[in-house]
Structure 1
Amino acid sequence: MSKKRNLVLFISTSLDGYIATKDESLEWLFNTEGEGDNGYSEFYETVDTILIGKKTYDWIIKHETGEFPYRNKECYVFTKSSIEDTEDVKFINDDIVSVTNKLKNQEGRNIWIVGGGELLQSFVRENLVDEIILTVAPTIIGKGIPLFKEGDYQLDLTLKGSRNFNQFVELHYGVKK
């Protein structure tokens, strides 16, 4: 019997828990002095499947220049609309739990939750997240899009490790099941 794949949240946050400003800016993140790519390439090699919410997908398409950044990965975009697949992504409007469990039971590497907040909330509420790798920037932005939304859930975590990339601190947690 094969081991289930892990669903991993790998994301950066401000010290006060926001992933972007209210106007979806990440300028605060890019203004922080890191080290190399802050562990991104190392993590990226551990995944072969990416899950994205439609709003985050639209942000990526609007702000990324050049090629779609996840071309070499299997990429699913969760949406409430019926949208035709592209060369780079499959649009999914099925039940998040059944789709995610099906993916977790397939052979492969880790599955990365790229975003966004609404999609993450669904994964957390349904206890589908297996690991959280949180990179904290030494910035307080006061208000914005929160990493975790208020809700009726609780995740208990185990610290698997921590390291720093110049001004960033990475916290790696396993989710207790």
Structure 2
Amino acid sequence: MIKKRKIVLFIATSLDGYIATEDDSLEWLFNVEGEGDNGYSEFYDTVDTVIMGRRTYDWLLEQESESFPYEGKECYVFSRTVSKDNENVKFFSENVVDFTNQLKNKEGKNIWVMGGGDLIHSFINDKLVDEMIITVSPVLIGKGIPLFKEVDFETELTLKSINRFNQFAELHYEVKK
């Protein structure tokens, strides 16, 4: 029997719950003193598939002018507009639940849902996330793109671990299903 892969949300947030400012800036995040890569490498080794929204993908292309940061990983971009696949990513606009369940049933490592806000909301709303690793930055940015949008149900979590990376606190939760 194939071990079912997990969908893992791995993301940083401000203490007041935002993943970016209104203009998609992460400058607030990079101004905080961390430790090493704040657990990124350890997490990155546990996944072989990356899922992101279109705005996140476009932002990434603007920021990473050298090379695509997830080469060697299977990358999917959820987009409402049709786009042509390229050497780094496959674009997807079909049903999120069906597509994700197909991915989870394939052999492989875990699947990283990296953002953005709308995609995270879809995954939370459709109860697709198995684990959440949320790194909290000691910054209040006041307004921006929220990590979690309003839903009409409760989601219970079990705390698996807490790690400290200098000024960052990483909270690792398992979603109760």
Q: What TM-score comes out, normalization by structure 1 length? A: 0.98
1:85-164 to structure 2, matched below 5 A, reads: 85-164=85-164
**Residues in 2 aligned to 1:153 and 1:118: alpha-carbon distance in whole angstroms:** 17
Deviation at 1:99, TM superposition (A): 0.4
Aligned residue identity for 1:101: N
Where 1:36 maps in the other structure, the secondary structure is coil
Encode CA deviations 1:75-132: one digit per residue, 9 max, x unaligned. Answer: 0000111111000000001100000000000000000001111011110011000000
Deviation at 1:154, TM superposition (A): 2.1
- Structure 1: gaps of 5 or more residues: none
Where 1:107 maps in the other structure, the secondary structure is coil
2:14 is equivalent to residue 17 of structure 1? no
Where 1:35 maps in the other structure, the secondary structure is coil
**Residues in 2 aligned to 1:80 and 1:120: alpha-carbon distance in whole angstroms:** 15
RMSD: 0.7
Encode CA deviations 1:2-37: one digit per residue, 9 max, x unaligned. Answer: 111000000000000000111111000000000000
**Residues in 2 aligned to 1:120 and 1:170: alpha-carbon distance in whole angstroms:** 18
Report the counterpart of residue 83 of structure 1 in structure 2: 83
Where 2:58 maps in the other structure, the secondary structure is helix
Q: Count residues in correspondence.
A: 177
**Residues in 2 aligned to 1:146 and 1:52: alpha-carbon distance in whole angstroms:** 16
How many percent of aligned residue pairs carry the same amino acid? 63
Q: What TM-score comes out, normalization by structure 2 length? A: 0.98
1:4-43 to structure 2, matched below 5 A, reads: 4-43=4-43
**Residues in 1 aligned to 2:22 and 2:79: alpha-carbon distance in whole angstroms:** 21
Displaced runs of 4+ in structure 1, greater than 6 A?
A: none
Encode CA deviations 1:142-161: one digit per residue, 9 max, x unaligned. Answer: 11110001122321100000
- Structure 2: gaps of 5 or more residues: none
